[in-house]
A and B are shown apart, each in its own frame.
Chain A
Amino acid sequence: EAGVTQFPSHSVIEKGQTVTLRCDPISGHDNLYWYRRVMGKEIKFLLHFVKESKQDESGMPNNRFLAERTGGTYSTLKVQPAELEDSGVYFCASSQALALNYGYTFGSGTRLTVV
Protein backbone atom coordinates (compact mmCIF):
# COMPACT_ATOMS: atom_id res chain seq x y z
CA GLU A 1 0.00 0.00 0.00
CA ALA A 2 1.41 3.38 -0.98
CA GLY A 3 1.72 5.86 1.85
CA VAL A 4 0.83 9.53 2.01
CA THR A 5 2.84 11.42 -0.56
CA GLN A 6 3.70 15.09 -0.43
CA PHE A 7 5.16 17.31 -3.12
CA PRO A 8 7.54 19.04 -3.18
CA SER A 9 9.77 17.84 -0.38
CA HIS A 10 11.46 21.23 -0.20
CA SER A 11 10.56 24.67 -1.49
CA VAL A 12 12.42 27.94 -1.20
CA ILE A 13 10.54 31.03 -2.32
CA GLU A 14 10.79 34.75 -1.89
CA LYS A 15 8.49 36.74 0.31
CA GLY A 16 5.43 37.74 -1.65
CA GLN A 17 5.50 34.78 -4.01
CA THR A 18 2.95 32.02 -4.19
CA VAL A 19 3.58 28.39 -3.34
CA THR A 20 1.33 25.37 -3.71
CA LEU A 21 1.87 22.23 -1.70
CA ARG A 22 0.28 18.97 -2.69
CA CYS A 23 -0.75 15.91 -0.71
CA ASP A 24 -1.82 12.55 -2.07
CA PRO A 25 -3.51 10.53 0.68
CA ILE A 26 -3.71 6.78 0.91
CA SER A 27 -6.29 5.54 -1.56
CA GLY A 28 -9.69 5.15 0.08
CA HIS A 29 -8.94 7.46 3.00
CA ASP A 30 -11.77 9.96 3.23
CA ASN A 31 -10.11 12.00 5.95
CA LEU A 32 -7.21 14.27 5.07
CA TYR A 33 -5.47 16.60 7.47
CA TRP A 34 -2.89 19.37 7.18
CA TYR A 35 -0.53 20.18 10.03
CA ARG A 36 2.36 22.58 10.26
CA ARG A 37 5.48 22.94 12.33
CA VAL A 38 7.17 26.30 12.40
CA MET A 39 10.70 26.57 13.73
CA GLY A 40 10.96 25.72 17.41
CA LYS A 41 7.23 25.26 17.87
CA GLU A 42 4.83 22.35 18.16
CA ILE A 43 3.23 20.66 15.21
CA LYS A 44 -0.15 22.34 14.91
CA PHE A 45 -3.39 21.48 13.17
CA LEU A 46 -4.39 23.52 10.14
CA LEU A 47 -7.46 21.84 8.70
CA HIS A 48 -9.36 18.65 8.07
CA PHE A 49 -11.18 17.43 4.97
CA VAL A 50 -13.79 14.71 4.85
CA LYS A 51 -13.82 13.76 1.21
CA GLU A 52 -14.01 17.11 -0.57
CA SER A 53 -15.61 19.04 2.27
CA LYS A 54 -13.81 21.06 4.91
CA GLN A 55 -14.77 19.56 8.26
CA ASP A 56 -12.65 21.91 10.32
CA GLU A 57 -10.42 24.77 9.23
CA SER A 58 -10.05 26.40 12.61
CA GLY A 59 -6.26 26.11 12.49
CA MET A 60 -5.73 28.03 9.29
CA PRO A 61 -3.65 31.05 10.30
CA ASN A 62 -5.13 33.64 7.93
CA ASN A 63 -6.70 34.14 4.54
CA ARG A 64 -3.39 33.85 2.73
CA PHE A 65 -3.79 30.10 3.08
CA LEU A 66 -6.21 28.27 0.81
CA ALA A 67 -6.76 24.52 0.89
CA GLU A 68 -8.69 22.50 -1.63
CA ARG A 69 -9.50 18.89 -2.19
CA THR A 70 -11.25 18.58 -5.50
CA GLY A 71 -13.00 15.26 -6.02
CA GLY A 72 -12.02 14.06 -2.59
CA THR A 73 -8.66 12.72 -3.71
CA TYR A 74 -5.49 14.78 -3.49
CA SER A 75 -5.34 18.10 -1.70
CA THR A 76 -3.46 21.32 -2.30
CA LEU A 77 -2.48 24.02 0.14
CA LYS A 78 -1.70 27.36 -1.43
CA VAL A 79 0.05 30.20 0.34
CA GLN A 80 -0.42 33.54 -1.39
CA PRO A 81 1.43 35.79 -0.80
CA ALA A 82 3.99 33.99 1.32
CA GLU A 83 5.46 35.72 4.36
CA LEU A 84 8.62 34.94 6.32
CA GLU A 85 6.64 33.48 9.23
CA ASP A 86 5.14 30.86 6.93
CA SER A 87 8.45 29.01 6.88
CA GLY A 88 8.23 25.57 8.41
CA VAL A 89 7.38 21.98 7.66
CA TYR A 90 3.90 21.22 6.38
CA PHE A 91 2.62 17.73 7.07
CA CYS A 92 -0.30 15.96 5.53
CA ALA A 93 -2.01 12.95 7.07
CA SER A 94 -4.88 10.70 6.11
CA SER A 95 -7.08 8.21 7.90
CA GLN A 96 -9.87 5.81 7.07
CA ALA A 97 -12.21 7.02 9.75
CA LEU A 98 -12.15 9.57 12.52
CA ALA A 99 -8.76 8.50 13.68
CA LEU A 100 -8.72 6.80 16.93
CA ASN A 101 -8.58 3.11 16.37
CA TYR A 102 -7.04 3.44 12.95
CA GLY A 103 -4.48 6.11 13.57
CA TYR A 104 -3.26 8.64 11.12
CA THR A 105 -0.66 8.06 8.42
CA PHE A 106 1.57 11.04 7.86
CA GLY A 107 3.55 12.06 4.81
CA SER A 108 7.19 13.09 4.89
CA GLY A 109 6.30 16.75 4.90
CA THR A 110 7.16 19.73 2.74
CA ARG A 111 9.84 22.00 4.12
CA LEU A 112 8.96 25.55 3.09
CA THR A 113 11.49 28.32 3.39
CA VAL A 114 10.43 31.88 2.69
CA VAL A 115 13.34 34.30 2.21
Chain B
Amino acid sequence: AQSVTQLDSHVSVSEGTPVLLRCNYSSSYSPSLFWYVQHPNKGLQLLLKYTSAATLVKGINGFEAEFKKSETSFHLTKPSAHMSDAAEYFCVVTENSGYSTLTFGKGTMLLVSP
Protein backbone atom coordinates (compact mmCIF):
# COMPACT_ATOMS: atom_id res chain seq x y z
CA ALA B 1 0.00 0.00 0.00
CA GLN B 2 1.13 3.54 -0.60
CA SER B 3 0.22 6.87 0.96
CA VAL B 4 1.48 10.41 1.08
CA THR B 5 1.13 13.12 3.70
CA GLN B 6 1.60 16.79 2.98
CA LEU B 7 2.31 18.30 6.33
CA ASP B 8 0.99 21.79 5.66
CA SER B 9 -2.30 22.74 4.04
CA HIS B 10 -1.11 26.34 3.57
CA VAL B 11 2.34 27.92 3.44
CA SER B 12 2.85 31.69 3.30
CA VAL B 13 6.13 33.27 2.25
CA SER B 14 7.32 36.66 1.12
CA GLU B 15 8.64 37.17 -2.37
CA GLY B 16 12.36 36.48 -2.46
CA THR B 17 12.40 34.18 0.57
CA PRO B 18 12.92 30.42 0.49
CA VAL B 19 10.09 27.96 -0.03
CA LEU B 20 9.75 24.62 1.76
CA LEU B 21 6.78 22.35 1.14
CA ARG B 22 6.91 19.15 3.15
CA CYS B 23 5.91 15.68 2.05
CA ASN B 24 6.23 12.30 3.70
CA TYR B 25 5.37 9.05 1.97
CA SER B 26 4.73 5.43 2.74
CA SER B 27 5.26 2.66 0.23
CA SER B 28 5.55 -1.12 0.36
CA TYR B 29 7.87 -1.10 -2.63
CA SER B 30 10.47 1.19 -4.09
CA PRO B 31 8.52 4.35 -4.84
CA SER B 32 8.49 6.91 -7.58
CA LEU B 33 7.62 10.37 -6.34
CA PHE B 34 6.37 13.46 -8.11
CA TRP B 35 5.46 17.02 -7.37
CA TYR B 36 2.68 18.60 -9.38
CA VAL B 37 1.50 22.19 -9.34
CA GLN B 38 -1.90 23.59 -10.16
CA HIS B 39 -2.35 27.25 -10.89
CA PRO B 40 -5.90 28.66 -10.77
CA ASN B 41 -8.03 27.37 -13.63
CA LYS B 42 -5.13 25.39 -15.05
CA GLY B 43 -4.30 21.70 -15.24
CA LEU B 44 -1.88 19.77 -13.09
CA GLN B 45 1.65 20.47 -14.26
CA LEU B 46 4.57 18.18 -13.47
CA LEU B 47 7.29 20.05 -11.54
CA LEU B 48 9.72 17.20 -11.01
CA LYS B 49 9.98 13.46 -10.49
CA TYR B 50 12.12 10.95 -8.65
CA THR B 51 12.33 7.48 -10.19
CA SER B 52 15.25 5.80 -8.36
CA ALA B 53 18.07 7.72 -10.00
CA ALA B 54 19.71 10.74 -8.32
CA THR B 55 18.19 11.54 -4.95
CA LEU B 56 18.36 15.31 -5.52
CA VAL B 57 15.97 16.12 -8.30
CA LYS B 58 15.82 19.43 -10.10
CA GLY B 59 12.62 20.55 -11.71
CA ILE B 60 11.19 23.47 -13.59
CA ASN B 61 11.08 27.07 -12.38
CA GLY B 62 13.94 26.62 -9.91
CA PHE B 63 12.26 23.98 -7.75
CA GLU B 64 14.06 20.94 -6.45
CA ALA B 65 13.34 18.06 -4.11
CA GLU B 66 15.45 15.55 -2.24
CA PHE B 67 14.45 11.93 -1.78
CA LYS B 68 15.42 10.79 1.73
CA LYS B 69 14.65 7.14 2.19
CA SER B 70 15.65 7.08 5.86
CA GLU B 71 13.18 9.84 6.60
CA THR B 72 10.58 8.76 4.00
CA SER B 73 10.47 12.35 2.87
CA PHE B 74 10.41 14.20 -0.44
CA HIS B 75 10.29 17.88 0.47
CA LEU B 76 10.04 20.53 -2.24
CA THR B 77 12.24 23.61 -2.02
CA LYS B 78 13.04 26.76 -3.91
CA PRO B 79 15.67 29.31 -2.86
CA SER B 80 13.67 32.40 -3.71
CA ALA B 81 9.91 32.63 -4.16
CA HIS B 82 8.29 34.58 -6.99
CA MET B 83 4.76 35.88 -7.06
CA SER B 84 4.05 33.51 -9.93
CA ASP B 85 4.77 30.53 -7.66
CA ALA B 86 1.50 31.08 -5.82
CA ALA B 87 -0.48 27.92 -6.54
CA GLU B 88 -1.46 24.58 -5.07
CA TYR B 89 1.22 21.89 -4.92
CA PHE B 90 0.65 18.14 -4.78
CA CYS B 91 3.06 15.45 -3.68
CA VAL B 92 2.35 12.17 -5.45
CA VAL B 93 3.63 8.61 -4.96
CA THR B 94 3.42 5.50 -7.04
CA GLU B 95 5.09 2.14 -6.57
CA ASN B 96 7.66 0.59 -8.87
CA SER B 97 5.99 -2.79 -8.81
CA GLY B 98 4.27 -3.54 -12.08
CA TYR B 99 1.06 -1.63 -12.34
CA SER B 100 0.31 1.03 -9.74
CA THR B 101 -1.85 4.11 -9.70
CA LEU B 102 -0.89 7.56 -8.47
CA THR B 103 -1.67 8.45 -4.87
CA PHE B 104 -1.97 12.16 -4.17
CA GLY B 105 -1.46 14.16 -1.04
CA LYS B 106 -4.13 16.63 0.00
CA GLY B 107 -2.21 19.54 -1.46
CA THR B 108 -0.41 22.57 -0.07
CA MET B 109 -1.52 26.04 -1.03
CA LEU B 110 1.47 28.34 -1.43
CA LEU B 111 0.75 32.01 -0.84
CA VAL B 112 3.38 34.55 -1.87
CA SER B 113 3.17 38.11 -0.60
CA PRO B 114 5.03 41.11 -2.04
Interface residues of A (CB under 8 A from B): 3-4, 33, 35, 41-45, 48, 55-56, 59, 91, 93, 98-101, 103-109
Check A106–B43 contact: CB distance below 8 A.
Answer: yes
| Interface set, chain B 59-114, CB cutoff 8 A to A | 90, 94, 96, 99-107
Tally A-B pairs: CB < 8 A. Answer: 53
Sort A-B residue pairs by CB-CB distance and give the 3 closest, nearest first: A106-B44, A108-B43, A43-B104
Check A48–B101 contact: CB distance below 8 A.
Answer: yes
- Residue in B36, B49, B100 whose CB lies within 8 Å of A106: B36
Check B106–A99 contact: CB distance below 8 A.
Answer: no
Check A103–B49 contact: CB distance below 8 A.
Answer: yes
A108 to chain B, nearest CB (A): 4
B residues within 8 A CB of A59?
101
Check B106–A41 contact: CB distance below 8 A.
Answer: yes
Check B51–A108 contact: CB distance below 8 A.
Answer: no
Please tell me if B25 contacts chain A, counting CB pairs below 8 Å: no
B40 to chain A, nearest CB (A): 11
Interface centre among B101, B103, B107 (most CB of A within 10 A): B101
Check A107–B96 contact: CB distance below 8 A.
Answer: no
Cα distance A42–B99 in the bound complex, in angstroms: 21
Check B106–A42 contact: CB distance below 8 A.
Answer: yes
Check A45–B34 contact: CB distance below 8 A.
Answer: no
The verdict on A44 contacting B104 (CB below 8 Å), with A3-B43, A4-B43 known, is yes
Cα distance A3–B94 in the bound complex, in angstroms: 22
